[in-house]
Amino acid sequence: MESGKILVVDDDQNICELLRLYVEKEGYTVVIANDGRAALSVFDAENPDLILLDIMLPELDGWQVCREIRKRSQCPIIMLTAKGEVFDKVLGLELGADDYVVKPFEAKEVVARIKAVLRRLGKNNGDAVKEVKYDKLSINLTNYELRVNGVQVDTPPKEMELIYHLASNPNRVFTRDQLLDEVWGFDYYGDSRTVDVHVKRLREKLEGVSDKWALKTVWGVGYKFEVKE
């Protein structure tokens, strides 16, 4: 049996109870909030291990809740959305969501996604400090700190995970699909624009810092963290 506490945020009581039934059957504890403000209060009080977060909520919508939680925590968030537009998926991931499920969904699929996200993060939560250093650059994934010339640069979680993944594998070329799978950890339905957006933002922070390394585009393939010998 699994363990951990899951916060379910949805204004539809039937969906909440359905998810509670399936998630508790797997051994997790479930707490529920039915609007955005309640979600933040319950989050602070209960300190859950993962959040299932609907987008269309009263009080504060899911986007706002996601933003607020990311200011204070790296707690994994799976967005529940009835909207299938690519824009929504990209926005959710850019705000720091770890996965998303489009309604209507099978409760079993949601449980599988919960397990996958927690398993993936569990692998990252060892005691060893996860840090890579290059000339004028330090990427610390344990503390989620990016330092350029010794100065901490404000960097969202997924940008941190992306640059850490690339810099931990210097000179290795990754396709966008590989990065989606290995950094985001799920099938992104073939849309790779979110990788391009994150790389663009990282470039703005890292451009011209050192001549010993660079975040490079490999045309027609993907990206690599190039280290010059």
Domains of the chain by start residue, with CATH = 5-123 (3.40.50.2300), 131-227 (1.10.10.10)
Q: Encoding tokens for residue 86? A: 């690519």
Please tell me the distance from the alpha carbon of residue 124 to that of residue 56, in angstroms, as a whole number: 31
Which residue stretches of the chain have pLDDT < 70? 1-2, 83-89, 122-129, 185-191, 229
Q: Encoding tokens for residue 74? A: 């790296």
Q: What string of DSSP letters covers 138-178?
A: EEETTTTEEEETTEEE---HHHHHHHHHHHTSTT--EEHHH
> Computed from CA positions of residues 91, 10, 43, 3, in that sequence, does the dihedral angle turn out positive or negative?
negative
End-to-end distance of the chain based on CA atoms, in angstroms? 49
pTM of the model: 0.60
Q: Among 157, 8, 222, 189, which Cα is nearest to 89's?
A: 189
Q: How far is residue 60 from each of residues 34, 40, 92, 110, measured CA to CA in Å?
A: 11, 10, 15, 23
Calculate the CA dihedral of residues 153, 90, 73, 75 and round it to 10 degrees.
Answer: -140
Strands in 49-110 per DSSP E: 50-54, 77-81, 99-102
Q: Among 133, 168, 126, 127, which Cα is nearest to 147's?
A: 133
Q: How far is residue 160 from each of residues 82, 182, 183, measured CA to CA in Å?
A: 29, 13, 10
Please tell me the distance from the alpha carbon of residue 18 to that of residue 200, in angstroms, as a whole number: 40
Ramachandran region, residue 2 (left: φ > 0; alpha: ψ -120 to 50; beta: rest): beta
Residue type, position 125, single letter: N
The per-residue pLDDT for 2 is: 65
Measured in residues, the chain has a length of 229
pLDDT in tens, 81-139: 876 656 566 777 778 888 888 888 888 889 888 888 887 776 444 445 688 999 999 99
